[in-house]
């Protein structure tokens, strides 16, 4: 199965899917943190629509599944105090339009991930809200999932501990990047559950 992970430089979700035999690619304006050759550095909207660029050309093989992590800087309600400035500058509207452009890609199965944000009112309520402690990490970080053609993620390992690690991070130049990385347990759940589901649906459609 061909899997596209939009707006990911860490490679966490890409590696989880590739470990299970899927042709998974990440894409971001930044280079891959792990230096992987299975990363597209560029515009996620172009890569989502046209595929992997090889020798200066984009292949036309469509994606079967897209998991997108659009930037939340101008969307997350945790930054609501700056919303008037973001609206005035047009940054918030641009972020909304980018989010919706990903959601409307002609890909049969899509999951878009973001923290609690204004897309609940600007578009629609998320299909599911998950927490790291449901997937083996004793921390809190409410993560919203907007789904198309995919089932809800089922918790894999509920553990004790409700530490708001993300909110306790000290200021640093890469704090924004560390805050946005996908937890390993969640990445593996996506690869296991959505990978198996998409494969099953594809087999049924081909039968």
Each residue's pLDDT expressed in tens, for the chain with a length of 207 residues: 999 999 999 999 999 999 999 999 999 999 999 999 999 999 999 999 988 766 556 676 789 999 999 999 999 998 889 899 999 999 999 999 999 999 999 999 999 999 999 999 999 999 999 999 999 999 999 999 999 999 999 999 999 988 876 665 556 565 445 456 899 999 999 999 999 888 788 777 777
DSSP letters along 97-121, please? HHHHHHHTSS-SEEEEEEESBTHHH
Compute the distance between CA of residue 201 and CA of residue 196 in angstroms, rounded to an integer: 9
pLDDT of residue 168: 56
pLDDT of residue 200: 81
pLDDT of residue 24: 96
pTM for the whole thing? Answer: 0.90
**Which residues have CB under 8 Å from 113's CB, separation 6+?**
67, 68, 69, 143, 144, 145, 182
207 located within any domain: no
CATH code, 112: 3.40.50
DSSP letters along 47-60, please? HHHH--EETTEE--
Range of the domain at 122: 2-190
Whole-angstrom CA distances from 180 to 90, 167, 174, 198 are 23, 12, 10, 25
What's the structural domain count of the chain?
Answer: 1
**Which residues have CB under 8 Å from 98's CB, separation 6+?**
45, 70, 71
- Secondary structure (3-state) at 27: strand
pLDDT of residue 167: 62
205 located within any domain: no
206 located within any domain: no
130 located within any domain: yes
E strand or H helix that includes residue 66:
strand 65-68
pLDDT of residue 197: 85
């Amino acid at each position: 199965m061909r899997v596209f992970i939009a707006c990911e430089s860490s490679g966490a979700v890409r590696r989880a899917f590739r470990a299970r035999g899927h042709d998974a690619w990440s894409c971001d304006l930044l280079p891959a943190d792990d230096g992987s050759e299975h990363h597209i550095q560029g515009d996620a909207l172009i890569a989502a629509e046209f595929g992997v660029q090889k020798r200066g050309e984009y292949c036309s093989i469509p994606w079967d599944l897209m998991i997108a992590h659009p930037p939340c800087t101008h969307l997350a309600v945790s930054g609501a105090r700056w919303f008037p400035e973001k609206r005035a500058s047009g940054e918030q509207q641009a972020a909304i339009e980018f989010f919706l452009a990903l959601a409307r890609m002609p890909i049969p199965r899509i999951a878009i991930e973001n923290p609690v944000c204004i897309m609940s009112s600007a578009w629609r309520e998320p299909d599911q809200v998950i927490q790291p402690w449901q997937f083996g990490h004793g921390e809190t970080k409410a993560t919203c999932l907007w789904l198309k053609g995919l089932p809800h993620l089922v918790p894999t390992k509920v553990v004790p501990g409700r530490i708001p690690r993300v909110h306790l991070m000290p200021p640093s130049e890469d704090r924004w990047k560390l805050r946005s990385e996908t937890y390993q347990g969640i990445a593996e759940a996506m690869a296991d559950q959505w990978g198996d589901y998409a494969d099953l649906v594809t087999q049924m459609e081909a039968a």
